[in-house]
Structure formats: C-alpha cells, structure tokens
C-alpha cells in the first residue's frame, strides 16, 4: 500500500517524465513531430496492464486527421489509455496513412482498444434505406450495418451515443438493437472480445448485454451526484464494474473539471489545492463496489496543459496507483 507521500513522489516523477518526453519543438517547426518509443519489455508490460483486472480509462478523441501536433495524434495519447472512442471518425488508410498506422500501432503494440462511435438517429441520412424496410426487418439490418463497420475496420467494438429523441430508434427499439447486437458482441455475445458500449442517457433495459455504460456526468459537483446517477442504472441491473463516469475536457481542460466534493467532504486534490471533477471521478467509487472506470470527452485538449495530459494522467494514477 502506497503512502500519501509516495503517491505524490510517484506522480511528480511521472509528470516530470511526461514533460521531458513531450516537450515542445522549436516555434513554427513544420516538421512532423516524432513520438518517443520504448523497449519491447515496456510495451509487453503495458499490454499486461491493459489485460489485467483494473478500473479503465476512456477517452472520446477527435481532430486526429487535421494536424501534425502530438496533441491530436494517437501516438501522443497517454500510453495507459484503455479505450479510445473515435469521435473524429474511422481513419481511412488511403487518405490518412500516418494516422491509420499510428492507430494500428497503438492497438497492436500498446494494447489500446478503439471503438466506432455514432449517435444513431434514424432521422439522419445514414438510416434512409433502413427506414424504407418493413419495420420487423429494421433492427437486424441496422445491427448488421454496425457490426460490419466494426469488423471491416478491425475495430474493438462500438460506442452508441444514446442522445436521440423523436426518432424510430428511441426507447424500446433502441433496447431491441442492443439485444440484437448483444448476440454477437459484448459480454453475452459470440465474440465477447468486442465491446458493446452505450453512453449518454440511461436506457430502459438491455444492460446485461453491455460491456460498459458510460455516464456523461459533465460538471458533476461531487460524489453524491455520481452516486445518484449510478443508482438510476443500477436499478436496471448494471453492476458497478461496468459503469464509467466522464467529464467534458473540451470545456474544462484548463482546470480539470468543476469543483468536486468527495463523500467524506474532502475538497482537496492529491496535489494540494482545489479538487476538480476529473480527478474526483477517478477517485470515486459507488457504494455498491468499484466502478468500471473514468474518462473524458474531447480529452485531447488536456494535451495543452503542462505536462501534456496533466489531468488525465493524474486521474489514471489516482484510480490505479503505481505499485512499487
């Protein structure tokens, strides 16, 4: 068991190393930045960590096709990131060969998992052909379409952003889609190695088919708020180890979230000063047991801090302290 001082020392060492590895190049340097590489043993240990029983880290990541900066490249992500949800779309190897190669390196060598993410609103253009089908054929057709995206692109699963209303797939039909997909992927599927994730609003059922349910707990004020959010889905049978809480780092990258109060009233960060929500989420667990993990939307903006990914790395360390 690490002491508080040991944790601080470990964190400071990690931050110093991160700063050294990702220090800025010359101003206005137009050359592509070269990511730091490690030994085969380092990567073997990293993959073993990813395969171990631990609370995971998750990030919605975007903009990776628009810049040479490591801040929005896959190789610039924290190595300990478990799941990267492709908010910027699936990179095309023909149009973005470097981006594609980096994604495959992170997937193969770093053990990072990549998911296709979509807001499946059937009022949008992608669903026109499916909605023209007889109603009883729509769920299998839509489900097969999503499965083909996963397997054709050699991805690790799908992340369905359930923030849809006023469309055919809302409510009971969305649960039917989860039940259909759950026959093939997720913990009850034929291929349980593929992730079946839902984020956004709580759903009315189908939780037993999910690898994870992800709460967009943006601007959360504290442990009581997170507990109330979890209780809503726990009532439908979702175990705590499949529950992930996330903050919007697109809005809060400068501070690491909003002021956060822990269950015992603590408001102090492990580094001293105010405790903010991303760190608070990483440290929090529901009363029912250990959560599945923590994460961030638009996490790439945390790269702008010193060291890069300051708050996300702190969250990983708080959630899974390094063992000496």
pLDDT value, residue 323: 66
Residue 10 lies in a domain: yes
Question: Mind listing the pLDDT tens digit for each residue in 297-321?
Answer: 999 999 999 999 999 999 999 999 8
The confidence band for 15, taking pLDDT boundaries of 50, 70 and 90, is very low
Residue 250 dihedral angles phi and psi, to the nearest 5°: -60, -35
Residue 25 lies in a domain: no
Instruction: Name the pairing type of β-strands 113-118 and 83-86.
Output: parallel
The confidence band for 26, taking pLDDT boundaries of 50, 70 and 90, is very low
The confidence band for 51, taking pLDDT boundaries of 50, 70 and 90, is very high
- Determine the angle formed by the axes of helices 4-21 and 310-319, rounding to 10 degrees: 140
Residue 313 lies in a domain: yes
User: pLDDT at residue 98 above 80?
Assistant: yes
pLDDT value, residue 23: 35
Residue 26 lies in a domain: no
The confidence band for 3, taking pLDDT boundaries of 50, 70 and 90, is very low
**Count of domains for the chain:** 1
CATH number, domain of 47, equals 3.20.20.80
Residue 27 lies in a domain: no
Mean per-residue pLDDT over the chain, rounded = 90
Global pTM value: 0.88
- Which whole number is the average pLDDT over 192-200? 98
Residue 30 lies in a domain: no
Helix (H), strand (E) at residue 152: helix 135-152
Q: Which domain holds residue 66?
A: 4-19+35-319
pLDDT value, residue 288: 98
User: pLDDT at residue 213 above 80?
Assistant: yes
Question: Mind listing the pLDDT tens digit for each residue in 279-302?
Answer: 999 999 999 999 999 999 999 999
Dist CA 22 CA 35 (whole Å)? 8
Residue 62 lies in a domain: yes
Dist CA 212 CA 166 (whole Å)? 25
- Cα dist from 287 to 207, 224, 228, whole Å: 19, 10, 11
Residue 88 lies in a domain: yes
The confidence band for 35, taking pLDDT boundaries of 50, 70 and 90, is low
The confidence band for 34, taking pLDDT boundaries of 50, 70 and 90, is low
DSSP labels, 40-66: HHHHHHHHHHHHSS--EEEEEE--TTS
Dist CA 72 CA 149 (whole Å)? 23
User: pLDDT at residue 179 above 90?
Assistant: yes
């Amino acid at each position: 068991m690490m002491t508080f001082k040991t944790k601080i020392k470990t964190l400071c060492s990690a931050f110093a190393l991160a700063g050294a590895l990702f220090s800025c190049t010359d101003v206005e340097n137009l050359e592509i930045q070269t990511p730091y590489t490690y030994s085969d043993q380092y990567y073997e240990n990293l993959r073993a960590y990813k395969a171990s029983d631990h609370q995971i880290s998750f990030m919605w990541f975007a903009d990776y096709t628009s810049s040479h900066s490591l801040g929005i490249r896959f190789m610039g992500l924290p190595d300990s990131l478990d799941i990267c949800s492709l908010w910027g779309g699936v990179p095309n190897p023909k149009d973005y060969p470097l981006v594609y190669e980096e994604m495959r390196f992170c997937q193969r060598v770093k053990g990072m998992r990549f998911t296709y993410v979509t807001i499946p609103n059937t009022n949008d253009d992608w669903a026109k052909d499916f909605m023209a089908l007889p109603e009883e054929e729509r769920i299998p057709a839509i489900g097969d379409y999503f499965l083909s995206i996963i397997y054709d692109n050699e991805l690790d699963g799908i992340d369905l952003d359930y923030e849809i209303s006023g469309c055919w797939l809302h409510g009971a039909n969305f649960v039917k889609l989860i039940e259909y997909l759950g026959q093939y992927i997720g913990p009850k599927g034929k291929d349980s190695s593929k992730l079946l994730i839902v984020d956004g609003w709580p759903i009315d059922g189908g939780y037993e088919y999910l690898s994870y349910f992800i709460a967009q707990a943006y601007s959360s004020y504290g442990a009581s708020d997170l507990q109330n959010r979890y209780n809503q889905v726990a009532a439908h049978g979702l175990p705590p180890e499949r529950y992930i809480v996330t903050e919007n780092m697109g809005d809060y990258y400068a501070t690491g979230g909003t002021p956060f109060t822990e269950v015992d009233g603590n408001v102090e960060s492990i580094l001293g000063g105010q405790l903010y929500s991303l760190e608070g989420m990483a440290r929090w667990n529901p009363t029912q047991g250990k959560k599945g993990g923590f994460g961030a939307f638009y996490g790439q903006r945390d790269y702008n801090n010193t060291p890069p990914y300051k708050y996300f790395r702190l969250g990983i360390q708080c959630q899974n302290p390094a063992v000496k």
